[in-house]
Structure 1
Amino acid sequence: MRKLSECSASRARALLAACAIAMAAAGHAATDDSCARAGQLAGPGWRIDSAGFAPSGDPAPHCVVKGAVVSGTASGIGFELRLPLNWNGRLLFQGGGGLDGSVRPALGSIPLAGAKDRPGALARGYAVVSMDGGHEGDGAAFAADEQAWLDFAYASAPKVTRAAREMATRFYGQAPRHSYFMGCSNDGREAMIAAERDPGAFDGIVAGNPGFNLAGSALEETWETALLARSAPRDATGHPVIAEALSDADLVLVADAVARECDKADGLADGLVFDHSCKFDPQVLACAPGRGNASCLAAPKLELLRALFAGSQPYGGWPYDTGITAAAWRKQKLGTARAGPPNAGNAVRGAQAWYEVLLRQPIPERIETPEQVLAAAGRAEPRARQVNATATRLDDFAARGGKLLVYQGMSDPVFSSTDLIAWYQRAQHDTVTAEGRPWMRLFLSPAMGHCGGGPGLDDFDPLEAIEGWVERGEAPERIIARNRAAPGSTRPLCAYPRFARYDGKGPVDDAASFGCSMPGDAQ
């Protein structure tokens, strides 16, 4: 066997993979010399700032390359590329998050809160690249720089993808056999932007809880804050206490009523509503003479609830689901502040995205009315066209064999599954493919929040599913998911519009006891 020192010193590209395998198999600690050549991967349009071996304890021996793609801004588009020595021939683009602004470790982790124990793409042998979206910092100041804004909106991912592909090709001596994109939230938006505007870049794309209609959701979040402020009690200084517009008891009351109405439609009353077609009318919670207030909603709260779930007219509204009792749902829409300015995610990050990023103006000192928020929608339209991934004609992506796997939590308080389903239906209708070849799948997870969390099913493996679809032609009809609240229990997530239904016979904690049914099918 070739000595490890010889492997480290070797410059021959053809021997790199064999050396890497030998090093991994031998179990010896690698040295920075083994990745020295990664520091020579600078190319036209990008620079390398550092390159070396990952610290011990990281998954599998690999090189870490950090640098930036030149974009016309002072900092450029920062990136991190991790190159495993035992490479499987695949490249994964790992999206950013929030408003970007930092380079996350390029581990290719499964972007689900409950899937943290699953090996990421790097541990599976993928080369993985991440980026900062074209700016540094966690605020909205970047939006004042037109190039930084365009990089965030759509331009950064294609530039980093091309650089990463070229660097991987030079490092390994061959181009990646398959390229994938995986991300959740804003990362999911970036994934859908790639399918829409860079259709030849990726063979398979995973878009989780995608903020594809980012401008619409920012408008909705700001509108909801205004709606809740109008109904909320005031503190001693006159601030609306949005956290008290709906109490925890109110949310439990609604969730329980949803479960009573819709949970049994999937054959098993377990608190998870799989039948997304079930229609819930909150009127069943209206207070009537003689009905105790603890079991009903007074007319003002019922009116607020209806308006909140119906959503603003430009946005698609929200489904009634049992996961609305989760702490993350309250944190996003209502917050916890009992005095002073509201601290809900909608009132803070939502307002930041709407006013500072899309309208390019300071956040008003006082919460506007719902009518004032909607009146400004037209001024956001130019930037909405740049940042949104709402196109429904993805013919180029589908025609070249691209596969798009989308997943969404039904209790996501940030991006609405109702809005996503409407887009999915239009895209399936509008996109033309040869012989109706399947190119997109949507999986809805009941009671799951934003990129996981909540009492729902948030532990599954979309990377494995997209890989099987792209490379073996196995279009996923169901994905097996786990629920952290019930260790050992599994359920299938069925490709929309089908949903998981219990067969009435097998063990209730086994996914094999569930089939995939169409809404309206007889039980």
Structure 2
Amino acid sequence: MTPLSYKRNLLAVAIGGIAFYSHVANASSPYTLPLIGEAKPSVLTTQCEDMSLRLTANHTVITSVETIKKGTLTLGNNEIEAHCLVKGKMHERIGEVDGKPYSIGFELRLPKHWNGRFLHQGNGGLDGAVRTAEGALGGGPLTGALMQGFAVISSDAGHDRGLPTFAYDPQARLDYGYQAVAKLTPMAKGLISQVYGRQPDSSYFAGCSNGGRHAMVAATRYANDYDGILVGAPGYRLPLAAVASIAGAHVYASVPGTDKSNLESAFTLAERKTVSKAILAQCDALDGLKDDMVQDVKACQTTFNLHKDVPTCESERTGLCLTQPQKDAIATIFNGVTTSKGTPFYSAFPYDAGISNKDQLGWEYSAPIKRDSGAVAMIFNTPPVDLKGYSIRNFDGARFVWEANIDELVDRVNTVDGVYQETAMSFMAPPSPENMSTLRDRGGKIMVYHGVSDAIFSMEDTEKWYQALNEKNMGRADEFAQFYPIPGMGHCRGGQATDQFDMLTPLVAWVEKGEKPQQVVASARGEGNPGGVNDELPDSWSATRTRPLCPYPSTATYNGKGDIEKATSFACRMPAK
């Protein structure tokens, strides 16, 4: 590129930015964001095995290339078409601190009938395993990126076991947080170019939970590499959410009579069901219909009052009431845990009918000991706790949780020390997540969904992110970004919810054709569902109930007539001003 053309490009970007802000200030402006354009398909005629010797990439070892026949993989009742499976690893090395071998393991699936698109699949949890690169999201998914003809990559994010001990290696921390994506993306696109003779026409990133965090990071750090971002339940402030989970365990343990080895004794399933019924009694009809769902989540938070609407036990706990200490503990957690000085450090959680979901019990009672203890102690703690031989066998999660000082844990996610030169919040969180101007200005789009009853990553935290994004964009974030709260749904799936949906197809249509989604139809996974049955659905529901998922701040509202089990009887309406 010549200096003159470089200056012209800079000028074009600057003019585009000015035009955008002129546009958002004046809704009648004819200016529209750039359109990526529709991807073009290709057919792969070369045999997969014939490519094994000619596929190359820097710092990469291709370990195998094989043909996967049609039907070897299925999604629901659907057979995935024939494709090539490329396996490999990048940046092999020996860790300087722990002396263990590291690399970024991956698999890349390349369809025989390629739709011209690439999807990077962000995986959940602590990563540490190369999961099948099918690119399927949405409850029990019936479709996915690979099935639709995308080339799809999946990786272990730089370590080969899903244990937090990898984080004693400083580079493994950074790869897990954000650097593995930076290394995998050009490599994957390079291999795609070698196989099909051209780069992808459009590129997407998708994931839920930690995969949603990866997607949020991609939308900020790597916005020039991706055109569409699909984000589920984003743990985009994962270190603070994990500390909040441990703080929540401390709160539950403070309830008189609670057994620390069984935190459910602080707030039992029967008691949770009592609260769920109280929430439904106050909030179910706010959307115009009593259907065992709370669609108007925002209104419910001011309508429902834990202290007034749930009976207070006068003597013994019966499951039909709560003691005052129980109410105080629950309110503390749902209002958002704080430091010893009363400073909130993560987020409040919304009251929702899904408070009695299995997912709630698992994340609030088991996760602090079995999951968050190790993650906080080794990955997000700087420096990590001292372990002999860096072995998980030498770590007592329960002891760590009960001896933890929450103030210190909060401080340490923002600390550097010795060889650990990036804080946990630096390497895990997207930088300035409210600023997605790069993605916006090049025509990229982002769609985010979050279960209202998610007990580990708060839907309200995601709501605040979207509000900040909207403010940054002068009230017009919906030009390129949408946020979908899903009533009743737990973490990524499940609960008293219509949790089965395809959000990738509308994202592609928005990115490539400019067709902005007005809603996404979701279905319940009742008896006979090919994506797997959700056994938490209320008996009153049809097995095939559908509902519109509505872009925030609109909510699904009953039209006053029509089959209450069908999405067509509902409309997404904006709140009254």
TM range, normalised to the smaller chain? Answer: 0.7 to 0.9
In structure 2, the residue matched to 1:348 is: 370
Contact 1:143 1:149 in 2 (8 A): yes
Q: What residue identity is the alignment partner of 1:465?
A: P
Question: C-alpha separation between the residues in 2 aligned to 1:445 and 1:436?
Answer: 20
Deviation track 1:146-199 (CA, whole Å, cap 9, x = no partner) reads 111100011111211111101001100111111011110100000000011111
Question: C-alpha separation between the residues in 1 aligned to 2:322 and 2:437?
Answer: 48
In structure 2, the residue matched to 1:497 is: 553
Question: C-alpha separation between the residues in 1 aligned to 2:397 and 2:562?
Answer: 57
Secondary structure, counterpart of 1:257 in structure 2: helix
Contact 2:470 2:477 in 1 (8 A): no
The yes-or-no answer on 1:395 pairing with 2:437 is yes
Quickly say closer, same or farther: Cα 1:317–1:424, change in 2 above 3 A: same
Quickly say closer, same or farther: Cα 1:326–1:386, change in 2 above 3 A: same
Quickly say closer, same or farther: Cα 1:361–1:508, change in 2 above 3 A: same
Contact 2:368 2:401 in 1 (8 A): no
Quickly say closer, same or farther: Cα 1:143–1:126, change in 2 above 3 A: same
In structure 1, the residue matched to 2:486 is: 445
In structure 1, the residue matched to 2:193 is: 169
Gaps of 5+ in 1: 1-15, 21-31, 335-343
In structure 1, the residue matched to 2:288 is: 267
Deviation track 1:49-87 (CA, whole Å, cap 9, x = no partner) reads 111111552321111000012165543211100111111
Question: C-alpha separation between the residues in 2 aligned to 1:487 and 1:289?
Answer: 40
Trace 1:309-458 onto structure 2 (pairs within 5 A). 309-312=334-337, 313-334=344-365, 344-359=366-381, 360-361=384-385, 366=399, 372-381=405-414, 382-389=423-430, 391=432, 392-431=434-473, 438-458=479-499
Gaps of 5+ in 2: 1-40, 73-79, 95-100, 338-343, 387-395, 415-422, 527-541
What is the Cα deviation at residue 207 of structure 1?
0.5
In structure 2, the residue matched to 1:51 is: 65
Question: C-alpha separation between the residues in 1 aligned to 2:507 and 2:451?
Answer: 18
**Of residues 103, 108, 111 in structure 2, which corresponds to 1:81?**
108
Q: What residue identity is the alignment partner of 2:140?
A: G
What is the Cα deviation at residue 289 of structure 1?
6.1
Deviation track 1:3-31 (CA, whole Å, cap 9, x = no partner) reads xxxxxxxxxxxxx95564xxxxxxxxxxx
Trace 1:197-346 onto structure 2 (pairs within 5 A). 197-231=221-255, 233=257, 239-277=260-298, 278-279=300-301, 280-284=304-308, 285-287=310-312, 294-312=319-337, 313-334=344-365, 344-346=366-368
In structure 2, the residue matched to 1:154 is: 178
Quickly say closer, same or farther: Cα 1:511–1:71, change in 2 above 3 A: same
Question: C-alpha separation between the residues in 2 aligned to 1:424 and 1:290?
Answer: 44
Q: What residue identity is the alignment partner of 2:559?
A: D
Q: What residue identity is the alignment partner of 1:325?
A: S
Question: C-alpha separation between the residues in 2 aligned to 1:450 and 1:92?
Answer: 22
Secondary structure, counterpart of 2:522 in structure 1: strand
Question: C-alpha separation between the residues in 2 aligned to 1:494 and 1:44?
Answer: 44
What is the Cα deviation at residue 490 of structure 1?
1.3
Which 4+ residue blocks in structure 1 deviate beyond 4 angstroms? 16-20, 288-294, 362-365, 367-371
Deviation track 1:92-129 (CA, whole Å, cap 9, x = no partner) reads 111121010010111112x23332xx122111111111
In structure 1, the residue matched to 2:139 is: 113
What is the Cα deviation at residue 366 of structure 1?
3.0
What is the Cα deviation at residue 467 of structure 1?
0.7
More displaced stretch, 126-135 vs 276-285: 276-285
TM-score computed with the length of structure 1 as normaliser: 0.87
Contact 1:180 1:202 in 2 (8 A): yes
Secondary structure, counterpart of 1:501 in structure 2: strand
**Of residues 85, 91, 94 in structure 2, which corresponds to 1:64?**
85
Aligned residues between the structures: 479
Quickly say closer, same or farther: Cα 1:401–1:33, change in 2 above 3 A: closer
What is the Cα deviation at residue 370 of structure 1?
9.5
Secondary structure, counterpart of 1:40 in structure 2: coil
What is the Cα deviation at residue 398 of structure 1?
1.1
**Of residues 449, 461, 473 in structure 1, which corresponds to 2:502?**
461
Contact 1:286 1:299 in 2 (8 A): no
Contact 1:51 1:63 in 2 (8 A): yes
More displaced stretch, 200-209 vs 481-490: 481-490
Question: C-alpha separation between the residues in 2 aligned to 1:240 and 1:390?
Answer: 38
In structure 2, the residue matched to 1:23 is: none
More displaced stretch, 494-503 vs 288-297: 288-297
What is the Cα deviation at residue 487 of structure 1?
2.6
Trace 1:476-495 onto structure 2 (pairs within 5 A). 476-485=517-526, 486-495=542-551
Q: What residue identity is the alignment partner of 1:449?
A: G
What is the Cα deviation at residue 243 of structure 1?
1.9
More displaced stretch, 130-139 vs 71-80: 71-80
TM-score computed with the length of structure 2 as normaliser: 0.79
Q: What residue identity is the alignment partner of 1:95?
A: G
Deviation track 1:340-368 (CA, whole Å, cap 9, x = no partner) reads xxxx0122111122122111116666365
What is the Cα deviation at residue 39 of structure 1?
4.3
Question: C-alpha separation between the residues in 1 aligned to 2:43 and 2:413?
Answer: 54
Question: C-alpha separation between the residues in 1 aligned to 2:290 and 2:180?
Answer: 46
What is the Cα deviation at residue 489 of structure 1?
2.1
In structure 2, the residue matched to 1:472 is: 513
Quickly say closer, same or farther: Cα 1:472–1:228, change in 2 above 3 A: same
Quickly say closer, same or farther: Cα 1:261–1:62, change in 2 above 3 A: same
Structure of higher RCO (CA pairs closer than 8 Å, 6+ residues apart): 2
Contact 2:249 2:368 in 1 (8 A): yes
Contact 2:297 2:352 in 1 (8 A): no
Q: Considering only aligned residues, what root-mean-square deviation do their CA atoms show, in Å?
A: 2.3
What is the Cα deviation at residue 232 of structure 1?
5.8
What is the Cα deviation at residue 386 of structure 1?
1.7
Question: C-alpha separation between the residues in 2 aligned to 1:135 and 1:368?
Answer: 25
Secondary structure, counterpart of 1:129 in structure 2: strand
Contact 2:143 2:502 in 1 (8 A): no
Contact 1:229 1:241 in 2 (8 A): no
Question: C-alpha separation between the residues in 1 aligned to 2:44 and 2:436?
Answer: 42
Question: C-alpha separation between the residues in 2 aligned to 1:301 and 1:491?
Answer: 34
